[in-house]
Amino acid sequence: MLAGTLKTIPTLMGAHAALWVPYLHAAVLSFVGAAVIWPWLMAAIHHLPRTREIEWMKLWRCPECGTFNRQTFIACSHCEYHLTLGFWRRRMPTLLSEKIARAVRRLVFLYALFGWLLFYAAIAGAVWKLQLYTFYLAPIQELLAALTLALGVIGLLFFRLAFSPRKKSPLGAVLDAASGVGVVCLTAIGFLLWASAGGDIALAHRIKVRYPWLHSTIETPPPVQPAAPAATPKIRHRQ
């Protein structure tokens, strides 16, 4: 199937592929740049000064004097009446609860930092491996590399939505993770097509040797072996 796809792609690209494929390459790089900058841009916009909106909050009414107090206040601001605390809140020390909350915030920060490092490292590694830092590529290799990178970035964005430390519905997280897995499978197929089209012939040959069930679907030439030195003819001297 993949071998037939490789034979069909040049026909679909047409005779003027060398003219429009570099534009697709540039568009994919622009999309990747936008995906990389977008989270930082949104964070900067979120921290811009803006007019405060109306904030709604819950109040509790003191049974002694009838004064309304904020939900976070334990004692009444008028008559010092104290609320009855729950079981765990009465027995857990305040210092211990603060330490637990601080440790949870630190773990969430490290989790998010590791996710962002993995996100950027995967994109940089894909750009380097697919050789998309240069425009001097064969049209079919450039097309497959650009499409593979675009699919990979979309898959990473789905995984970011699924595993980001924010409040979301479990069904939404499952759907985002399933979408990410599907797009990553398409990315793997695109990477295999790119390697078989000449992007990395040695890698495609190793995959074909390691997974024999792909032998009938992928026709990749073996890596070029260095030619053996020619034998020097022996000259007999007459006595």
pLDDT tens by residue, 99-137: 787 888 899 999 989 999 999 999 999 999 888 888 888
Closest Cα to residue 155, out of 121, 188, 203, 199?
A: 188
Range 46-76 burial, b when 16+ CB lie within 10 A, else e: eeeeeeeeeeeeeeeebeeeeeebeeeeeeb
Give the position of tokens 């069909």.
Answer: 8
Residue 160 lies in a domain: yes
| Mean pLDDT score, 164-172 | 82
Residue 56 lies in a domain: no
> What are the φ/ψ torsions at residue 187 (nearest 5 degrees)?
-65, -40
Assign residue 152 a region: left if phi > 0, alpha if psi is -120 to 50, beta otherwise? alpha
Range of the domain at 176: 112-221
Range 215-229 burial, b when 16+ CB lie within 10 A, else e: eeebebeeeeeeeee
Residue 43 lies in a domain: no
> Is residue 135 within 8 Å of 142, Cβ to Cβ?
yes
Which comes out higher in pLDDT, residue 212 or 66? Answer: 66
| Mean pLDDT score, 192-216 | 67
Q: What is the pLDDT of residues 6-36, one digit of tens each?
A: 667 767 777 777 788 888 889 999 999 998 8
Residue 182 lies in a domain: yes
| Mean pLDDT score, 147-165 | 90
Residue 163 lies in a domain: yes
Residue 121 lies in a domain: yes
Q: In angstroms, how far is CA 98 from the centroid of its own chain?
A: 34
Is residue 160 classed as helix, strand or coil in its secondary structure? helix
| Mean pLDDT score, 51-66 | 78
Q: What is the pLDDT of residues 83-92, one digit of tens each?
A: 766 666 555 5
Residue 1 lies in a domain: no
pTM: 0.66
Number of residues written out for the chain: 239
pLDDT of residue 214 exceeding 90: no
Residue 203 lies in a domain: yes
CA Rg, the chain, in Å?
A: 31
Domain count, the chain: 1
| Mean pLDDT score, 175-186 | 91
pLDDT of residue 154 exceeding 90: yes
pLDDT of residue 95 exceeding 60: no
> What whole-number distance in Å separates Cα of residue 16 and Cα of residue 34?
28
